[in-house]
Amino acid sequence: MDAATKSISGGDTAIFTVFTESGKVSQPDNTVNELISDCATSKESLSKLYLMFKDSVFAVAFGITSDYHLSQDCVTETFVRLTQVKKFSAKKGDGKGFILTIARNVALEFRRRYKKEISNFIIQSYGEAEKTVEDSIYINQLLKHLNDVQRQTVILRCCAELTFKQIAKVMRCPETTVKSRYKKAISILQEKAGEDQ
């Protein structure tokens, strides 16, 4: 481990030792980051972020909740929370990953809160615009053979177009695990597609 250590505090409390990782490449998207920093006070910045990430945020939320309305609420809640963020480093942060992390947290929270209500998606969507219901069912059918984490991985990769490294950061798990989940998800989908034909 490449670690230069330095004690910050000790005694009764935790001891902190700083170490840096060599060769780490960090290339934040400054435009997005600046918009995030400004969106608490600027409606224009918020609007730009909304246009840029609405689709990805919706996709992440839909991947978790499988429910159109709940996903729509997640989009609202995600951008509202984005305006309330107090700590975000415009220089170092990964803006897109940051927004999608909020979206994922919001969706997990909503799913936990409304778990019973979304258990029967088809009945719940009765009366909605036909196209919306049709699309929702279609996507749920596409992803029905995948478990929760595989669905999230596939959506973050395909719809939000994140790299495996970014997905690992959003889902808080090792990159190797993300890659393995993705490979497995694709093989399941191919296998099931073969069975259907």
Partner 1 sequence: MKDKNIKGDPEFEKKLRDKMKELSSNVDCFDKISARAFPENDSDFSDSEFTVSDLENVTGRHRAAPILKWVAAAAAVVICVGVLPKTAFVQDFLSNFRKDGDDKYRQIVSEILSETEEHTYDIYDMTLKEYIAYDILVDPLYRSPFEDSDNEDIRVRFFVRTAAPDIFTDQVYAVEYTGEFRRSNIIAAAESKVKYSDKEFDELNSDCTFMSRSEAQYAVDTHFNGDKYGNMTDEDGNFVAAASYEYKCFMKDGNEINSVTAQVLYSMGEECGSYYDMFIAAYNEKTDAYTAVELPESKDMWKCSINFDGTSAMPEDNEGGFARKDYFSGINDAVTSESMAYYLPFEDAADSILSDGHPDLLEIVPDMQEKTVIAAPAAYASKILMQVYISPFNFFQYSSDSNAKILIKVSGTDEEIRIHQSDVIDHIGEIDTSSEEMEKLAANNEKIEAEISEQSQKAQEVYEQEQNRMKAEAHNIEAVTVPEEIMIDPSKNPAFTLTSPN
| Of residues 158-177, those binding partner 1 (CB under 8 A) | 158-159, 163-165, 168-169, 172-177
Instruction: Between 51 and 123, name the residue whose CB sits nearer to partner 1.
Output: 51
**Residue 90 contacts partner 1 per CB under 8 A:** no
| Burial class (CB within 10 angstroms; exposed 0-12, middle 13-18, buried 19+) of 84 | exposed
Give the nearest distance from C-beta 169 to partner 1 in angstroms.
7
Q: Exactly one of 89, 117, 119, 144 binds partner 1 (CB under 8 A); which one?
A: 89
Least CB distance to partner 1 at residue 32 (A): 14
The DSSP line for 139-166 is HHHHHTTS-HHHHHHHHHHHTS---HHH
Binding-residue pattern over the window 23 to 42 for partner 1, x denoting contact by CB under 8 A: xxxx------------xx--
CB of 57 to partner 1, least distance (A): 9
Report 1-20 residues binding partner 1 (CB under 8 A): 1-3, 5, 8-9, 11-20
**How far does the chain reach from its first CA to its final CA, in angstroms?**
51
Categorise residue 24: left if φ over 0, alpha if ψ from -120 to 50, beta otherwise. beta
Angle at 136 between CA 159 and CA 145, to 5 degrees: 75
Which one of 87, 123, 130, 197 is in contact with partner 1 (CB under 8 A)? 87
Q: Would you say 117 or 134 has its CB closer to partner 1?
A: 134
Which token pair is 145?
A: 């053979």
* Minimum distance from residue 37 beta carbon to partner 1 (Å): 13
Stretch 99-158 residues interacting with partner 1 (CB under 8 A) = 101-102, 105, 108-109, 112, 129, 131-132, 135-136, 138-139, 142-143, 147, 149, 154-155, 157-158
Residues whose CB is less than 8 angstroms from the CB of residue 160 and which lie 6 or more positions away in sequence, other chains included: 56, 59, 60, 96, 100
Q: Which of 92, 123, 127, 195 binds partner 1 (CB under 8 A)?
A: 92
Q: Are 162 and 156 in contact (CB under 8 A)?
A: yes
Joined tokens for residue 73: 């609420």
